[in-house]
Chains A and B, each alone.
Chain A
Amino acid sequence: MIGSPDTPSFNDRQLDAIREAGNIGTGNAATALSGLLSRRINMDVPKTELVSIYELAEHYGDPLQTVGAVFVRSTGGFQCSLIFIQPEQDAQLMVQLLLQNQFGGSAIPAGEIPQEIYDSALGEVGNIVLSSFLNAINLLLGTQHQISVPGTAHDMLASILDVVASIYGQLGETALLVNTELSAEGLEDGRRISGHIIMIPDPESLSLLLRKLKVI
């Protein structure tokens, strides 16, 4: 059992093990994104963080900032929810780059990409990034998994993170976040595309992960 339901607590070895799983997932996600965009992708060292559910938005930035987000649910041996979240302008730039990359020709100005195509492309990139993340973790754990169709949203950071707060809120007041940032370089004008992957493991899957990594 991981802590009591209302106060999750982990020792340093457990937090390290969870972070290592995140690291393996992120490496795979970065490779996939790099292939899609034909750009070098940097990843920072993932963090395992325990954050108050009441301060999630502030933890990531300005609660009113507009972000693009892709959400998937993974079921099977290791059950979890995953979110890929980006500042809206980064999401737009990423989709622009993807379309240019996949179909050739010159860049379509971001504002001229029809919303439907933009959403569907964003959902697909998020899906590939998050599936790659999950494939690596399931390979590590020796589990099988199925991933849902991606859901996309463009909205205020605080509204998007309500999803995370309501999942953890049913268990207590602390969210365990496996958090990592990817960024693309080699863009014109020194522009940057960055995105966060947030993994929210179900409690029993977290136990499984700690058992498999022999830290429980």
Chain B
Amino acid sequence: MAENSIVLGMADLMVVSAPIKLVTLGLGSCIGLVVYDTLARVAGMAHIMLPDSRGLKTSEKVGKFADTAVPALIEEMLRKGAARPRIKAKIAGGAQMFSLPGASAEFLTVGAKNVAETKRRLHALGIAVIASDTGGNKGRTIEFSTSNWMLKVKTLGKGINEI
């Protein structure tokens, strides 16, 4: 069956029922988090920008921060019929686009912090990360298929990695 694609923008968060392809374009330091339950045939994606909301106003999009996106995504999965023990996660993104030798520019390493915080939050909810393609210094475009539950990761000059 043909899958229609939904493209998620920065800080978007969405849960869908199969068959739909979830896509997000040009992840740099951001994270593409995918969670799915193959039995309930539901899948969710979040385009996470930063690790920690640090109590910033909740008027902002919940998908923006790892600490708010992970619980919101799992909650939405459960609402759409997923069962928590069956939910699995895949992660891509979290690159460091620039490195400045010798300069103290902590904000350039936000990608690694996004990966660590997303994993920590998933672990706290008992969700297993079964595959990931993170880090490095290249951007990624990702597509998650709800027909074979595979995450296609496209990197400029490196081709496609399916995880």
Contact = CB atoms under 8 A, between A and B. Distances in A.
Interface in B89-110: 95, 97-103, 105, 107-108, 110
B21 interface: no
A157 B28 CA distance: 9
Nearest to B52: A170
A139 interface: no
B127 interface: no
Given A71-B98, A149-B100, A159 B139 contact: yes
B107 A160 contact: no
B28 A161 contact: yes
Interface string A53-79: 111110000011010010111000000
Contacts of A64: 25-26, 141
Contacts of B126: none
B30 interface: yes
Contacts of B28: 155-156, 158-163
A57 B50 CA distance: 17
Given A54-B10, A151-B100, A169-B49, A159 B107 contact: no
A163 B100 contact: no
A154 B157 CA distance: 10
A157 B26 contact: yes
**Interface bracket on A:** 35 or more
Interface string B108-148: 10100000000000000000000000000111110000000
A159 B110 contact: no
Contact of B9 (A54, A148, A163, A166): A54
Nearest to B102: A149
A96 to B, nearest CB: 20
Contact of A163 (B10, B97, B101, B102): B97
Main secondary structure of the interface of A (DSSP, over half): mixed
Most buried by A among B57, B103, B138, B140: B103
Contacts of A155: 26, 28, 97, 138-139, 156
Nearest to B157: A154
Given A148-B100, A165-B49, A153 B57 contact: no
Contact of A148 (B57, B105, B156): B105
A150 interface: yes
A163 B28 CA distance: 8
A122 B26 CA distance: 22
Contacts of A54: 9-11, 61
Interface string B1-43: 0000000011100000000000001111110000000000000
Interface of A: 6, 53-57, 63-64, 66, 69, 71-73, 81, 148-163, 165-167, 169-170, 173
24 contacts: A56-B10, A64-B26, A69-B98, A149-B100, A149-B103, A152-B98, A155-B28, A156-B26, A156-B139, A158-B26, A158-B139, A160-B28, A160-B97, A161-B28, A162-B26, A162-B27, A162-B28, A162-B30, A163-B29, A163-B107, A163-B108, A165-B30, A166-B30, A166-B110
